[in-house]
């Protein structure tokens, strides 16, 4: 073997793993054989997001270790084997399975264990803790028989644990010793607001309660007795009353530990033995145990720097600011939230109606931000944190930072105001300077920047700030993103839409003459064609519009690879009678079409030639069908489940609503295709949350989801409004769709449209629901115009001789295209492959 030294890491939790990842990224790794012991049966996973385990996240998804990490970096991993003793004289670590490793350097990342108060009965059945995946599995097992769950501890972790109990469907209680929730991070008013919001979610909060005994319950497995004489029946008791450092190994080998536990470390994270480091929740620095992951990560990086010989990079404490979403409630705490600093001044804003509480703690001279509390609305967190951490001078009226602003004025801190040293991502310690270097080196997209710097890949809280730094840097570099639609129009689609609307322009040639140049192209022509259609709704095959139409619109059918077409009649809501189905089958049979069911609950008929299209539609229209617009960038289908008329679980009549919506919006031309769905209950069989517009029935009315899609980059829709009656629902969708049609870019689905919007979902809500721009009436009117002028494009076409002339392969012959060759497969046709076309010769140069 080489002259490599051996480095042993005890503990493969989040911090232990972060240490390994930082180490293997450093050149110093080549000096060490790395060995790690992991007591748990699986390597490091994300404890911060543990409660998502109950909402479908698997143990594998929680994992923080990439497949093959240990093998790739030649790290010996002893999984499910606990380090049992350390012999500092012999410099060895011995595991409980008897493996003995000699070390040169040792890193203790043993973490912490949940503190269980020494209450009588704390070890009874179904008295559990909340830290590992195994703990979660025990909770899930207990929840199968139990109905009530109680968390002891109303801190950060306790609230997370309460969410887990709630997700398991239990009646959930929180019992807290202190007089308020999150007593460490929040002031009294903040704690009260949080309590109010949590209680609204159905969690029962008991504060100022001292548990004195846990004993047999009458209705439940357990009964908790409190010092004030009150009692609480509960099946599960979940202790989440803080953590205690795992320092027993260190204690046993004589390392210095704190009075109340914790392995004492210096600024280099070294213990009292210079060859042994301690990092994370087991370490005691300056009398403090850090129970958050970011300081642990910082310690891990300090050790790597120390091994590299960089003794200037020491651990100097960590910021304990936090921002999180607890059961959907935004909560954030920054710095000195309790205003304990000398002379500190407090500004606070409380809005009981909207359930928002904000508090600023500033220095005596009102120049610097010392701390803040945000409950109910935490969008200002990044800005405030930057003020606080970088000592940036506050604006003249600091209260503006927490007061709601009515106009568009932004009081946010622009990225330019931040110094290069400002830490943007505290999970991975990425400064603004580091981001700027990466941007200069060519990372010009958010994704590239994230991959290159790891910023925003931890908790993700800094992603908005990262994006604004990126945009501002790109603007400084003079990288100007050209937003012109194409060489013919120096406008965006949104601007063209406005021109068409305001100047009442009704044809492409007019628009080109007034605002464009050249002849146009396959980008601007269909875009303008779509704008004209959504604004004036004339038939798209009228003489003025014909040449604008993209491949499929051009012949009102979907062109396939061999130049033949597929036909999709509308089947509203996916409801079809046997007679209609038979009619459809007869047409398919007569024209020998390949038939397939689509994902949108319709039937697609393939292999129709140009001359067959009008004949097919004549029969379909006679049978009562109309165009399905599968060829257009327009509303496709409103998918539905069978709903309350048949389903045992149905809450409302999803089919009727789907049919009504599909009939309302059919024919609407838009920047890209629009898909909708309606589910009759929260089982969500119609997959509404994967659609641009999704509706789910609840006991209280319809819940509206928007901006979801499937396809290449699937995205779940966001909840937009809840408990709507039908009238309000339709009004909201009218506005939403009209606004999308007006303002989206060409070929931009609703998801990307919303994500690129400054202010995102909240802004969209303010425009659509609160009518912030005063556009609502216009948007509704626009939709009504489209609805009132609907026509079945195929019906109009087959009734107009002049339009039908084009539906022949040859303008001067009744011959058909001899390049269209079908073969049979599974009893139906399909286009012949090249090797099957023996008789066909290309037109060659003679």
Partner 1 sequence: MQWTDVCSVSDLQENSGVCALVNGLQVAIFYLPADEHGVYAIGNYDPIGKANVLSRGIIGDIKGHKVVASPLYKQHFDLQTGTCLEDEWVTVPVYACQIEGGRVQVDTRLIAPLRQLIETSTNAQQEGVSA
Which residues in this chain contact partner 1 in the complex, by CB under 8 A? 487-488, 518-522, 524-526, 543, 546-551, 554-555, 559, 561-563, 805-806, 809-813, 815, 817, 819, 834, 842-843, 845
All residues at 6 or more sequence positions from 799 whose CB lies less than 8 Å from its CB, including other chains: none
323's tokens: 């921002």
As a whole number of angstroms, the distance between CA 259 and CA 273 comes to 18
Q: Tell me whether residue 308 or residue 544 sits nearer to partner 1 (CB atom).
A: 544
Tell the smallest beta-carbon distance from residue 692 to partner 1 (Å): 25
Strand 236-239 versus strand 148-152 pairing type: parallel
Measured from the CB atom, the residue of 646 and 840 that comes closer to partner 1 is 840
- Look at residue 361 and give its three-state secondary structure: strand
The nearest distance, CB 531 to partner 1, in angstroms, is 16
Closer CB to partner 1, 331 or 528, in the complex: 528
Residue number with CB closer to partner 1 (826 or 833): 833
* C-beta closer to partner 1: residue 254 or 563: 563
CB of 825 to partner 1, least distance (A): 19
Of 525 and 731, which CB lies nearer to partner 1 in the complex structure? 525
Choice between 1 and 845, CB closer to partner 1? 845
Residue closer to partner 1 (CB basis): 54 or 606? 606
619 with 585: CB under 8 angstroms?
Answer: no
**Minimum CB–partner distance for residue 714 and partner 1 (Å):** 25
56: left (phi over 0), alpha (psi -120 to 50) or beta: left
Nearest approach, Cβ of residue 518 and partner 1 (Å):
5
Tell me how far, at minimum, the Cβ of 533 lies from partner 1, in Å: 16
Rg (CA), the chain: 33
| CB-nearer residue toward partner 1: 39 or 553 | 553
* Structure tokens, 6: 């051996």
Q: Which residues are CB-contacts of 425 (< 8 A; sequence separation ≥ 6)?
A: 453, 454, 455, 456, 458, 462, 466
| Residue 526 C-beta: closest distance to partner 1, Å | 7
Two structure tokens written together for 28: 């110093």
Q: Please state, as a whole number, how many other Cβ atoms lie within 10 Å of the Cβ of residue 130.
A: 24
Kindly give the residue spans of alpha helices, DSSP state H, lying in 591-687: 612-622, 654-665
Q: Give least dist CB 517 to partner 1, A.
A: 10
* In the complex, least distance from residue 563 CB atom to partner 1, rounded to whole angstroms: 4
CB 569 within 8 A of CB 584: yes
CB closer to partner 1, 468 vs 566: 566
Q: Nearest approach, Cβ of 522 to partner 1 (angstroms)?
A: 4
How many beta carbons lie within 10 A of that of residue 704, not counting itself?
Answer: 25
Rounded to a whole number of angstroms, the minimum distance from the CB of residue 487 to partner 1 is: 7
Helix residue ranges, H only, 40-186: 59-62, 69-72, 133-145, 156-167
Task: Please state, in angstroms and rounded to a whole number, the distance separating the CA atoms of residues 526 and 550.
Answer: 6
- The label of the residue with tokens 């091994």 reads 307
Q: Which is nearer to partner 1, 145 or 551 (CB)?
A: 551
Give yes or no for a contact between 211 and 119, defined as CB atoms under 8 angstroms apart: yes
Question: What minimum distance in Å lies between the beta carbon of 621 and partner 1?
Answer: 23
Residue 122: left (phi > 0), alpha (psi -120 to 50), or beta?
A: alpha
CA distances 740 to 258, 486, 534, 674, 763, Å, are 61, 21, 11, 10, 13
Complex with partner 1: residue 71 or 814, whichever CB lies closer: 814
Considering the complex, state which of residue 322 and residue 566 has its C-beta at the smaller distance from partner 1.
566
DSSP E strands: which ranges in 187-261?
203-206, 211-216, 222-226, 231-234, 236-239, 243-245
What's the min distance (Å) between Cβ of 626 and partner 1?
24
Quote the least distance from Cβ 819 to partner 1, whole Å: 5
CB 552 within 8 A of CB 529: no
Which residues touch 310 (CB under 8 Å, ≥6 apart)? Answer: none
> C-alpha 629: how far from its chain's center?
31
CA distance 570 to 666: 9
Q: What is the pairing mode between strands 231-234 and 236-239?
A: unpaired
Question: Is residue 126 left, alpha or beta, with left meaning phi > 0 and alpha meaning psi from -120 to 50?
Answer: left
Q: Please, which residue, 486 or 580, has the CB nearer to partner 1?
A: 486
Q: Map tokens 């059945």 to a residue.
A: 125
């Amino acid at each position: 073997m080489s002259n490599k030294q051996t480095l042993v890491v005890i503990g493969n939790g989040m911090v232990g793993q972060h240490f390994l990842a930082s180490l293997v990224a450093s050149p110093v790794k080549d000096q060490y054989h790395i060995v790690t012991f992991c007591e748990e049966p699986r390597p490091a996973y994300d404890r911060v997001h543990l409660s998502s385990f109950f909402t479908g996240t698997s143990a594998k998804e929680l994992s923080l270790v990439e497949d093959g990490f240990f093998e790739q970096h030649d790290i010996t991993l002893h999984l499910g084997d606990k380090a049992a003793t350390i012999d500092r004289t012999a410099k060895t670590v011995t595991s409980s399975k008897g493996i003995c490793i000699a070390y040169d350097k040792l890193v203790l990342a043993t973490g912490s264990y949940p503190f269980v108060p020494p209450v009588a009965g704390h070890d009874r059945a179904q008295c559990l803790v909340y830290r590992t995946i195994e703990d979660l599995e025990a909770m899930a097992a207990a929840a199968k028989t139990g109905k009530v769950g109680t968390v002891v501890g109303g801190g950060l972790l306790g609230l997370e644990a309460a969410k887990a109990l709630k997700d398991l469907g239990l009646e959930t209680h929180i019992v807290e010793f202190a007089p308020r929730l999150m007593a460490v991070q929040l002031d009294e008013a903040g704690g009260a607001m949080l309590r109010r919001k949590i209680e609204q979610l159905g969690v029962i909060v008991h504060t100022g309660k001292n548990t004195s005994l846990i004993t047999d319950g009458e209705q439940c497995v357990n009964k908790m007795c409190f010092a004030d004489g009150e009692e609480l029946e509960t099946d599960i008791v979940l202790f989440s009353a803080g953590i205690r450092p795992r320092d027993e190994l260190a204690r046993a080998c004589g390392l210095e530990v704190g009075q109340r536990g914790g392995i004492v470390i210096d600024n280099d994270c070294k213990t009292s033995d210079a060859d042994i480091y301690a990092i994370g929740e087991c370490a005691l620095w300056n009398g403090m145990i850090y129970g958050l992951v970011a300081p642990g990560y910082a310690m891990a990086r300090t050790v790597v720097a120390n091994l590299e010989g960089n003794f200037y990079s020491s651990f100097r404490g960590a910021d304990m600011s936090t921002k999180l979403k607890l059961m959907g409630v935004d909560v954030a705490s920054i710095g000195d939230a309790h205003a304990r600093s000398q002379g500190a001044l407090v500004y606070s804003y409380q809005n009981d109606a909207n359930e928002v509480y904000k508090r600023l703690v500033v220095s005596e001279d009102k120049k610097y931000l010392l701390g803040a509390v945000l409950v109910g609305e935490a969008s200002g967190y990044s800005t405030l944190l930057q003020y606080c951490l970088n000592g940036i001078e506050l604006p003249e009226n600091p209260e503006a930072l927490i007061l709601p602003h009515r106009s568009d004025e932004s009081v946010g801190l622009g990225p330019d105001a931040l110094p290069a040293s400002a830490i943007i991502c505290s999970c991975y310690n990425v400064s603004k300077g580091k981001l700027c270097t990466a941007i200069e080196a060519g990372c010009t997209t958010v994704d590239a920047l994230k991959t290159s710097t790891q910023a925003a890949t931890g908790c993700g809280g800094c992603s908005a700030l990262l994006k604004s730094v990126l945009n501002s840097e790109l603007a400084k570099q003079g990288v100007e993103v050209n937003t012109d639609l194409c060489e013919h129009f120096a406008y965006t689609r949104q601007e063209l839409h406005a021109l068409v609307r305001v100047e009442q322009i009704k044809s492409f040639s007019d628009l080109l003459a007034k605002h464009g140049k050249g002849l146009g192209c396959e980008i601007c022509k269909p875009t303008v064609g779509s704008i004209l259609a959504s604004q004036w709704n004339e038939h798209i095959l009228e003489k003025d519009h014909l040449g604008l139409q993209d491949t499929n619109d051009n012949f009102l059918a979907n062109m396939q690879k061999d130049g033949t077409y597929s036909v999709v009649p509308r089947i509203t809501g996916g409801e079809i009678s046997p007679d209609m189905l038979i009619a459809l089958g007869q047409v398919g049979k007569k024209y020998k079409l390949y038939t397939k069911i689509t994902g949108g609950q319709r039937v697609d008929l393939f292999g129709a030639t140009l001359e067959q299209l009008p004949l097919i539609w004549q029969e379909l229209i006679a049978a009562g069908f109309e165009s399905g617009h599968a060829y257009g960038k327009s509303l496709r289908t409103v998918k539905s489940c069978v709903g309350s008329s048949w389903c045992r679980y149905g809450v409302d009549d999803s089919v009727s609503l789907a049919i009504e919506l599909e009939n309302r919006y059919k024919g609407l031309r838009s920047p890209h295709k629009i898909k909708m769905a309606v589910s009759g209950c929260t089982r969500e069989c119609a997959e509404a949350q994967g659609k641009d517009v999704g509706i789910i029935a609840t006991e209280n009315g319809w819940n509206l989801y928007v901006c979801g899609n499937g396809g290449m980059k699937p995205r779940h829709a966001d909840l937009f409004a809840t408990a709507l009656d039908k009238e309000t629902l339709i009004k909201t969708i009218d506005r939403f769709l009209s606004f999308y049609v007006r303002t989206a870019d060409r070929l931009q689905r609703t998801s990307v449209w919303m994500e690129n919007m400054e202010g995102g979902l909240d802004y969209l809500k303010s425009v659509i629901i609160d009518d912030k721009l005063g556009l609502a009436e216009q948007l509704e009117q626009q939709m009504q115009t489209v609805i009132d002028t609907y026509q079945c494009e195929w019906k109009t076409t087959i009734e107009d001789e002049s339009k039908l002339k084009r539906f022949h392969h040859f303008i001067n012959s009744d011959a058909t295209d001899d390049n269209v060759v079908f073969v049979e497969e599974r009893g139906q046709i399909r286009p012949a492959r090249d090797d099957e076309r023996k008789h066909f010769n290309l037109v060659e140069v003679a």
